[in-house]
Amino acid sequence: MNWKKLGTALLFPHIAIMIILIPIATVFLVYSMVFLGTESVVAVISYVLAFYTLTVWCFKLPYLIKFFKAFKKENKYARIWQDDTRVRVNVSLYSTLLWNTAYALLQLGMGFWHHTFWFYSLAGYYISLAVMRFFLVRHTSCHKPGEKMLKELRKYRACGIVFLGMNLALSLMTFFMVYWNRTFHHHEITTIAMAAYTFTSFTLAVVNMVKYRKYNSPVYSASKAISFAAACVSMLTLESTMLTTFGDGTMSMTGRRILLGVSGGVISAFINAMAIYMIVQGTKKIKLLNTEKE
């Protein structure tokens, strides 16, 4: 037996086998964590399979990085995506606009069905995000960044004004969480997945807010500010969900209310500060441009 070939085959299997391993290992692991005990033989096998899948993908990582670098250089669409900031921003705005609209309609429907202001406040918040993204994507679809600076500044300032109004919906959500203990209870696996998605969205929102400042486009900055505001509210909802899902009874109801109230207040204050900054900066730059034209 050629041990070297066997080791190579095990550590560097064909890419098709690696792709097949991902859903098999994931389903097997989730099933074991949900329905089986940790001492079960099947559960141990699922852990070993998951570890093996992660290991072979880690070994493949340098080759994947090299492949995608070559793909970005050789594929014209990948080059367009990498080089054209306007395309990336438009795709981001269109996709989030569709998501916001669909989610807002869902929350509005839930509000009509359950007759509760909790869902109405969520609907109002996401409708506001969708409206802002709609006006921004109309501009980015027709104009290049900086081409109509006065229009961009007016839209930037308008987004700041809408943010101030959105804080009413955010205050209502915080009130329902704190006063009426309005939270969601999910399975542990679902909550962990929500946490991974929320932290990823929050991190990307912060990075993009800093990254897109270099383009000197108020519309681009406003679009990233919207993403950041949405990520902040997702963090608040996740915090409430995790307290409900993983709560072991050690934290009192008063402690939970204080924690959620403080978190909601900090997020609300930060969005207010961001809104005021956008309004003040937008107004200053609009006056400066008008003075230069005169």
179-208 tens-digit pLDDT: 766 666 656 666 677 777 777 778 877 877
Q: How confident is the model at residue 126 (pLDDT cuts 50, 70, 90)?
A: confident
Length of the chain: 294
C-alpha torsion 90→95→101→105, nearest 10 = 180
According to the model, what pLDDT value does residue 255 have? 73
Residue 1 has pLDDT above 60, yes or no: no
> Does position 159 have pLDDT exceeding 70, yes or no?
yes
- Write down the pLDDT at residue 292: 67
The whole-number average pLDDT for the span 205-223 is 77
Say how far apart CA 123 and CA 110 lie, in whole Å.
9
- Whether the CB-CB separation of 218 and 153 falls below 8 Å is answered with yes
Separation of alpha carbons 278 and 294, rounded Å: 24
Q: Which positions ≥6 away from 18 have C-beta within 8 Å?
A: 53, 56, 57, 60
Q: Are 185 and 244 in contact (CB under 8 A)?
A: yes
pLDDT tier for residue 20 given thresholds of 50, 70 and 90: confident
The candidate with the shortest Cα–Cα distance to 103, out of 67, 132, 64, 130, is: 130
